[in-house]
Every structure is written in structure tokens, then in C-alpha cells.
Chain A
Amino acid sequence: MSTVRSEIAAGFDVQKVREDFPVLKQTIHGMPLVYLDSAATAQKPFAVIDAIRKFHEVDCANIHRGVHELSQRSTAAYEETRSKARRFLNARFKNELIFVRGTTEGINLVASSWGRHNVKAGDEIVISAMEHHSNIVPWQMLCEEQGAKLRVIPMNGRGELILEEYEKLLNPRTRMVAVAHVSNALGTINPVGQIIEMAHQAGALALIDGAQAAPHMKVDVQALDADFYAISGHKIMGPTGIGLLYGKTALLNAMPPYQGGGDMIKTVTFEKTTYADLPYKFEAGTPNIAGGIGLGAAFDYLNHLGLDRIAAYEHELLVYGTEALLQIPGLRIIGTAREKAAVLSFVIEGIHPHDIGTVLDRQGIAVRTGHHCAQPVMDWFHVPATTRASLAFYNTTSEIDALTAGLKKVKEIFS
């Protein structure tokens, strides 16, 4: 398996790929930019930038309304992204894809619309110890409102979920299991297929936070049998402010609308409103049209590179980066799961991540420092914060060398 992965990775022309990303061709504080913060937001290729520009320059109009040419063009382009998303996630029907602002809104939609009508006092929602705040707080709010209970799957020292403990949490009161496919703070790839299957056996539904998985691996919502799957456009080289929620047709049909407004109705009188069919029932108001069209270009771009090739190349980077970081005395990697995406979260004894981040920035290296919107993860590992280098397919091994050289400079200053 790993030999196959290496061979695929060897055929990946990263220098050519970098030409697609204009932002990478700049210097920061006099040094070449080394962008290692793709888990926060990924950089955008020309294809995405050009699609957004073309929309504003040539096709700009509101969607689903006008009979005029521009409106038809913009509607077609926007709706085409829904079809691309269906293929990208291998959903059965394109109407199972709801446009949202991002993963956070996708989760909130489910917690609010499905949750309020299906979760009663005494019911239980299961999340995991490594969730991003966006997959904790909406469920916490729901539990508080409905008098339900939030239960948490624990993890081991590597940052892997303990499935035996998960099994013990499941019971007839469990309504929903909501977990991340890939942890943003640790890089752990969770066995979500198994997690979903176990949830279903207990009679519960499963929502997967796919924000960090979609940029790095092929996702097949039918194979996973996910009930809901949420992604963000900006993590997969698309624009910010646009994302998608996948939901099974029967579930979405049974759910009440999330927000009221234009575009989500069939008829409106002051006495009664009837709602539109899927997916429009959940899409009130003029959406981020340009963002949706840009996201369509991002799907095309990733398909063109190939998710398998991306995953193989990024795995090589992860192996290289892990080995390089472990050479630095006093450095501890936080998150050492056996199945891991290209995230390197670490602490260095006696040096605060913010100081590491500032010194690296002055060398042109962009990393994220802090709790990564996953404070419970930090508490679990007894660290206030970590430094996180998150890699994407446009990163190179020489950029990882720049990171280790930068960390040596950090150690010089604070030793």
C-alpha cells in the first residue's frame, strides 16, 4: 500500500502545481512565503480566482429569478456547482446538497432544524473529544434547550478515538452521533464508516464534520452511509463564505426549514406559506452566488489533480515533516494517530507557541498558533496551545526544511 502511495506521489509535479497559486509567489519580511496554514484556509488557484472574476465581469445577476440572459447564466453556473458537489461527495441526488456558508452553518442547520424536532428531554447526543468548537457548541445549545445530554467519546494518548468507550456510550436514548472525519488540531483520520455503522445499529443518526477531510481524501457519503456530511468551500481551495451540507433525502424532507425568506417558498399569503422542495427549502435569501461558482471551479481543479494523487503526495510530506520535526530537541508532536492527515501540531518545551509563531512569521513562515478552536483538545493534552503546521499539496519538502531551520532560530532566541 505504501509503495503504491510513494509511486503515485513521485509522479506529482509540485512545482507545476505551485504555478497555479499566485499568492505563493511573494516574499514576507524579505523571505519567500512558506504557507503552512492550509487547515485554517487553503490558498486559491487561478481557476477559482478567474471563475469569480468572470462571474462579476460577465455573468453577474441574481439566480432563480430573472428570465433574462444573465440571470439564466448565473443560475446555471451556480446550480452546476451543486451537481459537481454531488459527484465530489458521491451523493445520490443533487437535491441532497444544500448550500450553506460553511461547515459551521451546516452543523447549525442540522442541530437547529432536525434537532429541535427530534431531540427531547432525556435524549442523548454523542460527540467526540477532538471536535472543533463548531461541532460542540451547536449540540450543546440544542441539549440545553431540549434538556438533552451531551456525551463525549474519549481519545487515547495518540489522539485516536477509543471505539470501545464509544460503544458503551451508545444506547436507545442516543439520537445523533456527530464527529469529525479529520481532526483540525491533531490530524487524526477517524474511522467514520465504523462510527456511523455503530450509530445506526443503536438507532441513532450520524453527522460528519468533513471540513478537514474533503481537501485531502476522496469522500463517498453513500459508502460511508452518512446521514449528514458538511464541508467548507475555503478549505478545498474555494472561496470563503460558501459550503455544502449533504443530507439524505428522507431526512431533509422531514425537517422544517432553517430560515425563512425569499427563494425557500412555493406560495406566500398572510395566512399561510408553503415551502419549496429540496434543496431550496433550506436556502432562504440571495446566497453567495460568486462563492458558489468559485467553489465549482475548485471541485474541477481538485478533480483535475486527483484526490488520490493529492492524498499520496501529502502523506509523503507528512512523513518527511514528522521525521524532520522529531530531530528538534524538546519538541513534542501533539497528535500521533496511526491514520493521520498532513497536520503537524507541536509544542516546544519552555517556549510559548505565540513566540514561535512570531519568530517564524519574520522568516516568512505562516503557521497557526493557539487552541485551533479546539480548547477541549488542548485541555486533554495539558497544553494551553500548540503551534500547527498544516500542509497542502502545494507545499514542498524544502518548505519543511525552512520550518525546521526557523525552529532552530526560535530555539536560539529563547534558549
Chain B
Amino acid sequence: MVDDLYQETILDHTKHPRNCHAMADATRSAEGYNPLCGDKLKLFIKMDGDVVKDASFLGSGCAISTASASLMTESLKGKTREEALKLLEKFHDLLTTDSPVTKDMGKLVVFCGVRDYPARVKCATLAWHTLKSALGEAPETVTTE
């Protein structure tokens, strides 16, 4: 049922997104766009050497993309660049493959329901695509297409 997709944690982060603000002293930022639904997102990262010290976002989107950005910014803090990119890969696998859910993903496992909604995978990955760009792994503005 649809409750598998809109789990409580997701609804909570949709209604009360965390880290949803601009960041004046960000060291990196990037923009993401989903042309399919018009969702736009701006991501701010503050790096301290190789470590993500702070992360925030601004944007308008659906419940899934907003919750995903909110939970992503929470989970990034304190991670090294390499760890962040690894998490991105795992998150992508969580959404697009049948691989078993691993414990080290923390709260992000609430997105496992998305794999049953192929049309919504892009909503969940928009923030993460944008992260890739903020970390210099993709062009400055990314689209999910």
C-alpha cells in the first residue's frame, strides 16, 4: 500500500524539513532540476578540509524530494568526501536494485519503498545528484534527465 512509500519519517521530513535554509559561508553549492516535475533544489555544503561540516538546501518539490534533501543533509554532516560519495552509491542501489537493505544507512532506509515506484525514483535522487555536482563530480547544474 501507499503507506510503504510515505513512511512516517518521510512525512515528518516533508512537513518539517531540516536544514532548509541558505548558507552564507558555504564552500560549495550546486543546483539540481527535475524537468519532469519542475522540482528545483539548491544545495549548500561547508567543507572543513575533507569533511562535510554542514549541509543545507533550498527548493520546492514533492514530498519525496523534500524529505530526501532533508534526510540527506542530516546524514552528510561529519562524513568525508569519500564517505559521502559511497553513501550516494548505496542510496542509489537502495532505490534501483533488489539488494538487501544494509544497516549502515541509518534513517535513509525509509526510502526503500521508493523502489516499488519507478516513476518516483528521480524525486528521491534529485538531492543526491545535486550533491554529486557540489562535490565536483558533475556539472554545476544537474538535471535528473
Please list the residues of chain A having a beta carbon within 8 angstroms of any beta carbon in chain B.
351-355, 358-359, 362, 369-371, 375, 378, 384-385, 413-414
Contacts and interface: CB of A to CB of B under 8 A. Distances in A.
Interface string B44-67: 000000000000000011111000
A358 B62 CA distance: 11
A354 B61 CA distance: 9
Contacts of B39: 384
Interface residues of B, number: 21
Interface of B: 1-3, 5-6, 11, 14-15, 36-39, 60-64, 117, 119-120, 123
Contacts of A354: 37, 62, 64, 120, 123
A355 B11 contact: no
12 contacts: A351-B63, A352-B37, A352-B62, A353-B62, A355-B62, A358-B119, A359-B2, A371-B38, A384-B37, A413-B6, A414-B11, A414-B63
A385 B11 contact: no
Nearest to A378: B38
The 7 closest A-B pairs by CB, nearest first: A352-B62, A384-B38, A354-B62, A362-B2, A355-B63, A355-B62, A354-B37
A370 B38 contact: yes
Contacts of B62: 352-355
Given A352-B62, A384-B60, A413-B11, A358 B2 contact: yes
Contacts of A359: 2, 6
B1 A362 contact: yes
A236 to B, nearest CB: 27
A352 B61 contact: yes
B39 to A, nearest CB: 7
Contact of B37 (A362, A385, A413): A385
Contacts of B123: 354
Contacts of B120: 354, 358
Nearest to A357: B119
A402 to B, nearest CB: 15
B37 A358 contact: no
Which of B6, B11, B62 has the most chain A CB atoms closer than 10 A to its own CB? B62
Contacts of A362: 1-2
A174 B101 CA distance: 62
A246 B131 CA distance: 50
Nearest to A350: B15
Contacts of A384: 37-39, 60
B94 to A, nearest CB: 18
Nearest to A351: B63
B95 to A, nearest CB: 15
A411 to B, nearest CB: 13
A384 B14 CA distance: 17
Given A352-B62, A413-B6, A413-B11, A385 B1 contact: no
Contacts of A413: 2-3, 6, 11
Contacts of B63: 351-352, 355, 414
Contacts of A378: 38
B2 to A, nearest CB: 4
Contacts of B37: 352-354, 369-371, 384-385
A415 to B, nearest CB: 9
A362 B6 CA distance: 12
Contacts of B5: 358
Given A355-B63, A414-B11, A385 B38 contact: yes
B11 A358 contact: no
Given A353-B37, A384-B39, A413-B2, A358 B117 contact: yes
A355 B124 CA distance: 12
